[in-house]
Amino acid sequence: MDDVLVTGLGALSPLGAGVDAFWRGMHAADTGPTRVPDPLAHMDHPLMYLVPEADLPDGPPERDGLPLGRGSQFALAAVREAVADAGLAASPGPDMGPDTGPGAGPGAGPGALGGGVDPRRVAVALSTGMGDTDLHEGWWTGEAPESGRWAPAFPLASVVGGWLGAQGVNTCVSNACAASGYALSVGADLIRSGEADVVIAGGAEAYSRVALACFNRLGAIDPERCRPFAVERRGTVFGEGAAVLVLESATHARARGARTVYGRLAGAGWSCDAYHATAPEPSGEQIERAMREALREAGTGAEVGTVSGTGSGGLGFVIPHGTGTELNDVVESRVLGALTPRTPLYSVKALIGHTGGAAGAFAALAASLVLHHKTLPPNVPVGERDPECGVPLPSGSAPMTGAYGLVNAYAFGGNNISLVFGEAAA
For range 334-347, the mean pLDDT:
96
Quickly state the pLDDT bin for 59 (edges 50, 70, 90).
confident
For range 297-308, the mean pLDDT:
62
Instruction: With beta carbons less than 8 A apart as the criterion, state whether 96 and 107 touch.
Output: no
C-alpha torsion angle, residues 189, 194, 200, 202 (rounded to 10): 0
Q: What is the pLDDT of residues 201-229, one digit of tens each?
A: 999 999 999 999 999 999 999 999 999 99
Buried b (16+ CB within 10 A) or exposed e, 415-426: bbbbbbbbbbee
Q: Which long-range contacts (CB under 8 A, 24 or more apart) does 253-258 make?
A: 253/5, 253/7, 256/87, 256/115, 256/116, 256/117, 258/5, 258/7, 258/86, 258/87
Quickly state the pLDDT bin for 104 (edges 50, 70, 90).
very low
395, exposed or middle or buried, with CB in 10 Å at 0-12, 13-18, 19+?
A: exposed
- Residue type at 187 in one-letter notation: G
CA gap 410, 71 in Å, rounded: 21
pLDDT attached to residue 148: 77
- 98 pLDDT more than 60: no
Quickly state the pLDDT bin for 306 (edges 50, 70, 90).
very low
Phi, psi of 177 (to 5 degrees): -80, 0
For range 62-85, the mean pLDDT:
95
- 277 pLDDT more than 80: yes
CA gap 86, 161 in Å, rounded: 16
pTM of the model: 0.94
Buried b (16+ CB within 10 A) or exposed e, 143-152: eebeeeeebb
Instruction: With beta carbons less than 8 A apart as the criterion, state whether 36 and 123 touch.
Output: no
